[in-house]
């Protein structure tokens, strides 16, 4: 009879240990599942941000002339967690060879190198679970599309 009680007690201990190991395993799987869902949601946000960047950038690239400056806004009720901003600026280029430094006959009628380009930087930012995320895309535009004020002057609109 004593042997039977020891055996029953031993089975009870095995059961308690097995339940504890199972509980730890379930908690680990639950945590891994939660992290996987969060990672998927953040990945979806980055993909959504890329499409929203295109929504801001495309109308800018379609403009015949761009004035340097910046602007910010939101996407309204359509995407309430997302905000956008853009900056258009002039980027000076390093000149390695001046147009007059080329030997005669070299270059075959090439235009002299440009001194600057325009740059558009579009940023979309958002929050998820009280953390801030952002995605920025930059693109260069030709100098012909960028309005550059004359030395010491203001744009024609501001003079009037």
What confidence tens digit (pLDDT) does each residue in 133-145 have?
A: 999 999 999 999 9
Is residue 41 domain-resident?
Answer: yes
Is residue 57 domain-resident?
Answer: yes
Own/partner contacts of 87-96, CB < 8 Å, gap of 24 or more, are 87/120, 87/121, 88/60, 88/118, 88/119, 88/120, 88/146, 89/118, 89/119, 89/121, 90/116, 90/117, 90/118, 90/119, 90/146, 90/148, 91/116, 91/117, 91/118, 91/119, 91/140, 92/116, 93/117
Quick one: which H or E segment has residue 6? Answer: helix 2-62
| pLDDT, average across residues 58-71 | 95
Is residue 53 domain-resident?
Answer: yes
Is residue 104 domain-resident?
Answer: no
Q: Examine the pLDDT at 7 and tell me if it is beyond 90.
A: no
**Are 142 and 116 within 8 A, CB to CB?**
no
Is residue 107 domain-resident?
Answer: no
Is residue 105 domain-resident?
Answer: no
Tally of domains in the chain: 1
Is residue 102 domain-resident?
Answer: no
Provide the domain limits for residue 59: 2-97+113-151
pLDDT at 152: 58
pLDDT at 98: 58
pLDDT at 158: 45
Is residue 16 domain-resident?
Answer: yes
């Amino acid at each position: 009879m004593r042997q039977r009680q020891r055996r029953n007690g031993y089975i009870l201990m095995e059961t308690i240990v097995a339940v504890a190991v199972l509980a730890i395993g379930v908690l680990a799987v639950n945590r891994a599942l939660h992290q996987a869902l969060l990672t998927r949601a953040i990945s979806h946000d980055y993909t959504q941000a890329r499409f929203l960047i295109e929504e801001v950038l495309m109308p800018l690239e379609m403009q015949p002339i761009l004035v340097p400056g910046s602007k910010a806004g939101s996407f309204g009720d359509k995407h309430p967690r997302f905000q956008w901003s853009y900056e258009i600026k002039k980027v000076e280029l390093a000149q390695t060879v001046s147009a007059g430094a080329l030997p005669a006959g070299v270059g075959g009628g090439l235009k002299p190198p440009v001194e600057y380009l325009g740059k558009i930087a579009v940023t979309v930012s958002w929050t998820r679970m009280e953390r801030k995320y952002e995605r920025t895309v930059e693109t260069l535009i030709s100098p012909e599309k960028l309005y550059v004020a004359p030395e010491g002057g203001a744009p024609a609109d501001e003079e009037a």
